[in-house]
Each structure stands twice: as C-alpha cells, then as structure tokens.
Structure 1
Amino acid sequence: MSTNPLLKGTLQTIILKLLEDNAEMYGYEITQKVKEVTAGEIMLTEGALYPALHKLEADGFLETFTQVVDNRVRKYYRLTEEGGKEVTSKLSEAQSFIEQLQALLNLKPAVK
C-alpha cells in the first residue's frame, strides 16, 4: 500500500466504491484500478487489500464466487445488498470527514 497512512482508514470505502462502479472484481484487478485511477500515486499491496476484502466479506458486505480464467481459478468479489447500503454510508462519512478536515486546515477544495 502507499506509504500514506491516511489511506488505511479509507481502504474499505475505496473497495466498496470500486465494486459499486464495476459490479464484480478480483483482487489484482482492484489493485490495478486503484493504480490507474490515481496515476500510480496509490499502490495497494496484497497484505493490505486481502485482509480488508476478508473483513468486508465477514461483515456481510461482499460475496465471492470463483471462475476459471486461462486455466487458473480467480476469486471475484461483489457487493451484497447490505454492501450496497454500506457504500452510501461510507461515502457520506468520507465526504463529511473531508469537509471537516478542509475547514480545520483552511484548505480550499482543488479546482480541476
């Protein structure tokens, strides 16, 4: 994972949002999507990703299925109905926290 300690607290939110946007993904695909979207600024390691995926699955937010691709078994993750609700909750929490952080640090939102 990126050396940025701020990422640790948002990893579950990132995973849930990616799965909401992409329906189903396998682990390596998630790491590559994060790398692509952040232009390589955030790199997820297996050591960070898989414990987060397993926790989300244990909490009932993800379900898994396997598929054979090129003679290899690939484990896919997708949101459960409960997981879909959790995405909305996590995104709302993240947005609120970012707004509070901007106010505390007197940061202006980036203009693109």
Structure 2
Amino acid sequence: MDSANQEFLRGTLKTIVLQLLAQQGRMYGYEITQAVEERTGGELTLTFGALYPVLHKLEDEGLLITESQEVDGRLRKYYRLTPTGSETAVRKAGEFDRFIQLMRLLIRPSPDVAFGQ
C-alpha cells in the first residue's frame, strides 16, 4: 500500500471500524483487518498497531463493548457497538460522505466555479 493510502486510512480509521461493526454486528481484531483487505482487494492493509489503539479509544468513549469467547483453546476478544456507537456510526458515515463531496468539488471543480471571487 502506498503512503497516500496509509495517510487516508489513518484519517478514516474510526469511521471504517464503526461501519464494519455496524454491518457485521461483532468482530475480533484479525477479522477487522481481513475485512478491510478483502473489501479493498488488498489495496488497503490495516495493521494491528493502527487498529488496536483505535478500538481501545472507541471503547473508552463508550462506543464499543467487548466480550471474550474461548475459541480453539484461546480467548478471543470480540467488539460490538453500543447504542451510542450505532448512532455515531450513522453520523460518521454521513460526515464522511459530505467530506468526499467537498473533496470532489476541490479536486474536480466545475467550469463555472471561480476561486477567489
């Protein structure tokens, strides 16, 4: 993954995690990293070093809860949205959509847009 993609990923990581959990219900860390990679055809790779601080921050903010489950003799930690987390996921998706619209206006302005007027 190139450095531009890494930069964009860092800036949207909370939104990505919230959306994946809103869609899937509950996930564990490795599962989240795999979903990002699979959905982007390998264009984006999410490292554990980037993911877990975001998961812990979202948990501290009351947006996630965790539950542990034993799988193959190992304890696996699952993350799930709280009701506030679900509301935040919807809000963040809208904010992101609006940001993309604004970026398109800046990157590909229509011919009738005059800057500085």
TM-score normalised by the shorter chain: which range applies? Answer: over 0.9
What pairs up with 1:88-99 in 2 under 5 angstroms? Answer: 88-99=90-101
Q: Is 2:40 aligned against 1:22?
A: no
- Count of residue pairs the alignment pairs up: 108
Question: Residue 43 of structure 2: SS of its match in structure 1?
Answer: coil
- The TM-score with structure 2 as length reference comes to 0.88
- The one-letter amino acid paired with 2:20 is L
- The one-letter amino acid paired with 2:78 is Y
RMSD over equivalenced CA pairs, Å: 1.6
State which structure, 1 or 2, has the greater radius of gyration over its C-alpha atoms: 2
What pairs up with 1:54-73 in 2 under 5 angstroms? Answer: 54-73=56-75
- The one-letter amino acid paired with 1:88 is V
Q: CA deviation at 1:107?
A: 7.0
Paired with 2:86 and 2:52, the residues of 1 have a C-alpha distance of 19
Residue 49 (structure 1) aligns with: 51
Q: CA deviation at 1:6?
A: 1.2
- The TM-score with structure 1 as length reference comes to 0.92
Q: CA deviation at 1:72?
A: 0.5
Question: Residue 33 of structure 1: SS of its match in structure 2?
Answer: helix
Runs of 4 or more, structure 1, over 4 Å off, are none
Paired with 1:31 and 1:107, the residues of 2 have a C-alpha distance of 35
Paired with 2:2 and 2:28, the residues of 1 have a C-alpha distance of 20
